[in-house]
C-alpha cells in the first residue's frame, strides 16, 4: 500500500467528484501504511460499525445525497450509520448525524475522484488520526 505522504499528495491533485455519479453502493478498502490499516476495522467495530463494507447513496436532491454505511455480516448486508454527502469546493464531504454516538458527529470524510469508479477519501476528526486525514477508498459496485 502507498505511504501516507503519497496518498495525501494524490488527494491534493485528484479531481473533483461528480455528485451525480455518487448514487449506488461503494465497497470500502483501507489503504495506507500497515500501522494505520490494521487497527481501522477494530476501531470501527468498537464504535458501532463492525464489518464495515462501504457506503450506499441515494440520488442527490437539492445538492444533498443521503446515504448509509453498509456492514457485511455473514454474507448479508446491513445498514448502519446514516450520512449525507454534499459537494463543497473540490471535495465530496460526508457528514454523520449530530445524534450519532461519539465520535461520529465530529467526523468528516472528504473524497475526491481517483478515477471514474473509485473515490479516494480522507477521514478527519477521529482520535489519533494523522493531521491530513486517514485514507480509504470507495469502489463503485
Q: Taking the complete model, does pTM exceed 0.85, yes or no?
A: yes
Chain segment 20-74, per-residue pLDDT in tens: 999 999 999 999 999 999 999 999 999 999 999 999 999 999 999 999 999 999 9
Q: Which of 56, 33, 40 is nearest to 139 (CA)?
A: 56
Q: How far apart are CA 74 and CA 18, in angstroms?
A: 33
Q: What is the pLDDT of residue 130?
A: 87
Q: Which phi and psi (to 5°) does residue 28 adopt?
A: -90, 155
Would you give the DSSP letter of residue 130?
-
Burial class, 132, CB count within 10 angstroms (exposed 0-12 / middle 13-18 / buried 19+)? middle
Domains and CATH numbers, the chain: 4-140 (2.40.128)
CA angle, 52 as apex, 121 and 58 as ends, to 5°? 65
Q: Which phi and psi (to 5°) does residue 66 adopt?
A: -90, 140
Amino acid at each position: 500500500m502507498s505511504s501516507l505522504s503519497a496518498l495525501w499528495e494524490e488527494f491534493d491533485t485528484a479531481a473533483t467528484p461528480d455528485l451525480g455519479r455518487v448514487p449506488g453502493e461503494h465497497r470500502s478498502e483501507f489503504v495506507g501504511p500497515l500501522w494505520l490499516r490494521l487497527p481501522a476495522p477494530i476501531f470501527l467495530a468498537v464504535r458501532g460499525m463492525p464489518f464495515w463494507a462501504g457506503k450506499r447513496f441515494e440520488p442527490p436532491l437539492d445538492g444533498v445525497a443521503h446515504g448509509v454505511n453498509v456492514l457485511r455480516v455473514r454474507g448479508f448486508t446491513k445498514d448502519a450509520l446514516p450520512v449525507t454527502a454534499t459537494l463543497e469546493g473540490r471535495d465530496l464531504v460526508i457528514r454523520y448525524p449530530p445524534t450519532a454516538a461519539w465520535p461520529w458527529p465530529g467526523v468528516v470524510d472528504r473524497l475526491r475522484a481517483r478515477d471514474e469508479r473509485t473515490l479516494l477519501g480522507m477521514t478527519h476528526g477521529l482520535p489519533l488520526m494523522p493531521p491530513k486525514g486517514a485514507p480509504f477508498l470507495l469502489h463503485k459496485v
